[in-house]
Amino acid sequence: MVALVATTALVAFSLPLTLAYPSPQPLLGLPTGPAPITDPRFTTWNAPGSGDVRSPCPGLNALANHGFIHHNGKNLTIPHLVDGLAAGLNMGVDFTVLIGGAGLLASPNPLGGSFDLNQLDQHNFPIEHDASLSREDAYFGNDYSFNQKIWNMVLTVYKGKTTTDIPTAAKVLSARTQDEQKRDPQFTYGLREFIFRYGETALYLQTMSDPVSGVARLDFIRELFEKERLPVDLGWRPSTLPITLASLGVMVNNLFAANPQNGPEGVTIASNSYKDLIEGFIGGSEVLGNLTGGLSKQTGL
């Protein structure tokens, strides 16, 4: 039986949105923007070794494998994440502070200021969820390691295409939802999981291309998911524009517009749904401010 989480409907936009591009506020003293492509971290890749930890997120794992964040995956503070995610993927500070706050919430000591990647492996947390594009559902056991069988289902949807786009990515989400609804007797699919999954898709489309088009080379995406590696060797470069909560929110909306029948009954999506849902999951702006030592307020969250 599918478990649907009770939700409150949000105001939806029926047409695809375009992004009015604001720059996120920087954190004082921290660099923003990607590192020069000559930075040796882009071409240095080391698999996790004994004692290293990783998360269910291929992007974070890739950044650790390249050394943009601690290779051991431990003791991740928000300033460290802001620096590393900007340098490796041009992630905006607003996104990093918000998702970093969620990471701190996963730590046994949320007010301690740091967390480890493996602490993000919590079922229906912002990173782990049912119907992942590359991981098994928690019901079946290992929900954190790359699963080739699951990933093959995703590749089947592309049917020989060499690039992805918003309509095809939306079809992938629909196919994975339908598959897990049939396979997983404890499948959970409410508003929270729905938006986290759409946000995950917006993230890989934008980090592998840019914050606007949603058109990315499939070989870039495959290297990210299959090898947890930044595909510099294939010609990929970080986006020249920062990937922000605003850009992700617009793409979540546009993914939903491309495939609205894929949402749980009564769910509609607004351009700020992704930001609001993560912030609400954490407990609101005041809790986020306490977790981040006030850094969230500096970014306008």
Mean predicted confidence (pLDDT) in 63-87: 97
Q: Is 126 helix (H, G, I), strand (E, B) or coil?
A: coil
Residues 262-298 pLDDT 10s: 666 666 677 788 888 888 888 899 999 998 888 888 8
Instruction: Return the HEC string of 229-260.
Output: CCCHHHCCCCCCCCECHHHHHHHHHHHHHHCH
State the burial class of residue 179 (Cβ atoms within 10 Å of its Cβ: 0-12, 13-18, 19+).
middle
Residue 48 phi/psi, 5-degree rounding, is: -60, 140
Q: How confident is the model at residue 16 (pLDDT cuts 50, 70, 90)?
A: low
Rounded Cα–Cα distance for residues 116 and 128 (Å): 15
Domains and their CATH numbers in the chain? 43-299 (1.10.489.10)
Would the pLDDT of 101 be above 60? Answer: yes
Both tokens assigned to 126: 């912002």
Contacts of 203 (CB under 8 A, 6+ apart): 59, 243, 248
- DSSP labels, 13-51: -SS------PPPPPPTT---SPPPTT-GGGT------TT
Which residues lie across from 267 on neighbouring strands? none
- pLDDT above 90 covers a percentage of the chain that reads 54
Range with the largest mean pLDDT of 9-13, 108-112, 228-232, 255-259: 228-232
Give me the chain's average pLDDT, please.
86
Per-residue pLDDT at 300 = 82
Rounded Cα–Cα distance for residues 239 and 138 (Å): 33
Residues 228-238 pLDDT 10s: 999 999 999 99
Residues 21-35 pLDDT 10s: 555 556 656 667 899
More confident residue, 96 or 5: 96
Angle (deg, nearest 10), helices 58-66 and 191-207: 40
Q: How many CA atoms lie within 13 A of 289 on its CB side?
A: 9
Asked if residue 176 lies in contact with residue 224, where contact means CB atoms within 8 angstroms, the answer is no
Contacts of 217 (CB under 8 A, 6+ apart): 162, 163, 208, 209, 234, 236
Per-residue pLDDT at 209 = 95
Q: How confident is the model at residue 3 (pLDDT cuts 50, 70, 90)?
A: very low
Alpha-carbon distances, residue 127 vs 21, 58, 62, 169, 204 (angstroms): 26, 10, 15, 18, 13
Cα–Cα nearest to 291, from 112, 145, 87: 112
Residues 145-181 pLDDT 10s: 888 998 999 999 988 899 999 999 999 998 888 888 8
Cα–Cα nearest to 214, from 183, 181, 171, 177: 171
Q: How confident is the model at residue 1 (pLDDT cuts 50, 70, 90)?
A: very low
Per-residue pLDDT at 263 = 65
Cα–Cα nearest to 78, from 300, 301, 294: 294
